[in-house]
Amino acid sequence: MPIACGQTISQPYVVAYMTEQLGLRPHHRVLEVGTGSGYQAAVLSRLAREVVSIERYRTLAGKARERLASLGYDNVEVVAGDGFAGMPEKAPYDRIIVTAAAEEVPQALVDQLADDGVMLLPLGPHGGAQHIVKLTKSQTGVTRDNLIAVRFVPLLPGQAQEL
- Give the active site residues: 10
DSSP per-residue codes, 69-128: HHTT-TTEEEEES-TTT--GGG--EEEEEE-SBBSS--HHHHHTEEEEEEEEEEES-TTS
Nearest to 120, CA basis, from 6, 44, 37, 27: 44
Instruction: Determine the Cα–Cα distance for residues 148 and 11; give it in Å rounded to an integer.
Output: 14
Q: For residue 148, give the 3-state DSSP assignment.
A: strand
Contacts of 116 (CB under 8 A, 6+ apart): 94, 136, 137, 138
